[in-house]
Amino acid sequence: MEHTRVARLKDIVDFKKEIDNAGRILQSGGLVAFPTETVYGLGANGFDARACHAIYEAKGRPSDNPLILHVADRSMVDAVAADVPLMAEQLMAAFCPGPLTLILPRGSRVPDAVTGGLDTVGIRMPDHDIARAMIRSAGCPVAAPSANLSGRPSPTTAEAVLQDMDGRIPLILDGGPCSYGVESTIVDCTGSKAAILRPGAITREMLEELLGDVELDPALAGESSIPRAPGMKYRHYAPKAPLTLLEGPTGLMAQGMQEELKKRANRRVGVIASEEVAAYLQAFLPAERIVSYGKQGDLQSIAANLYESLRAFDDMPMDSLLAEGTQETGLGLAIMNRLHKASGFRSIVLSDKLRKG
């Protein structure tokens, strides 16, 4: 395949022409990368098994890792779900379109290539004009994981998509940077109680305010033998250099980073950290080996910058990376989920012993 073409929709006048072109590519079994409010997706016709298999090939993605079907409106949900429980109706009314994926009983038209052979399917209605316009133009639900090579940090810009997908797909629709920066919250609606399979911008607290008690799937703490949703089984979001996550009180983070850098004094180490810790570490590391993802506690900023930060050292010969963790409430649960997966659950937990020297 020739080089991938990037259609910069934020600049062009003929928006409809590019959207219609993307729709034709999808209708004919091709792949299109497109923006959403969370990350860029790599889309195929969700009713075309061969096209969906092409997603796995382009990404190098394991075929038992399910895909999410993206729909333009509520009416398309009935085309892909065998049943829509009351719980799901409540969630759609409250949060859709938005960064939410619902696990529902699979409809008869949905191929195994989408579900990984499961009897359920993930359905999402993105809150992005370009994404919904493209889905309507294609006239079908669009199966789409994130538009990156499997295991790599998800792309939040068209440039990041191009780094991984150039020559693998014909078209990228460039809608500018994504606003949230982490993938959608995935909620299983097939049981008696809602269960979060992947945390995201629709937080556990938001869901509990609507539904009452909401479960966290046990697989979020480690590996799952059968992935019920994207991101549950395999290592994800990983930079090229091995990453170690530092967890603990914010007041200990700068000293903890310094101690870990001392242990790695003879190695090339990069640091992904808050503005506060990054400023402190400038006395110990060259500026090009420090990336800030935002201020401590500013979860919106950290989420939006997370994947670009994880990609920042990929063109540098780094031996290892250290990343600063954050709180695990609200959006922080999603951020820490991504950092745990990116590090392969390799963490250092800081303690009060640091204060004592």
pLDDT in tens, the chain (357 residues): 678 999 998 777 789 999 999 999 999 999 999 999 999 999 999 999 999 999 999 999 887 789 999 999 999 999 999 999 999 999 999 999 999 999 999 999 999 999 999 999 999 999 999 999 999 999 999 999 999 999 899 999 999 999 999 999 999 999 999 999 999 999 999 999 999 999 999 999 999 999 999 999 988 866 554 555 655 555 678 999 999 999 999 999 999 999 999 999 999 999 999 999 999 999 999 999 999 999 999 999 999 999 999 999 999 999 999 999 999 999 999 999 999 999 999 999 998 555 444
Spatial distance between the Cα atoms of 39 and 33, rounded to a whole number of angstroms: 10
Query: Which residues face 121 on adjacent strands?
Result: 104
> 198 exposed, middle or buried (CB, 10 Å; 0-12, 13-18, 19+)?
buried
Which pLDDT score is estimated for 63?
74
Identify the CATH homologous superfamily for domain 243-354.
Threonylcarbamoyl-AMP synthase, C-terminal domain (3.40.50.11030)
CATH 3.40.50.11030 residue ranges for the chain:
243-354
The DSSP letter of residue 131 is H
Identify the CATH homologous superfamily for domain 5-221.
DHBP synthase (3.90.870.10)
Which pLDDT score is estimated for 356?
41
Identify the H or E element spanning 281. Answer: helix 275-281
Which pLDDT score is estimated for 357?
42
Which pLDDT score is estimated for 321?
98
The dihedral built from the CA positions of residue 237, 239, 243 and 247, taken in this order, carries a sign that is: negative
Specify the pTM: 0.93
Spatial distance between the Cα atoms of 355 and 357, rounded to a whole number of angstroms: 5
CATH 3.90.870.10 residue ranges for the chain:
5-221
Which pLDDT score is estimated for 351?
83
CA 284 to chain centre: 32
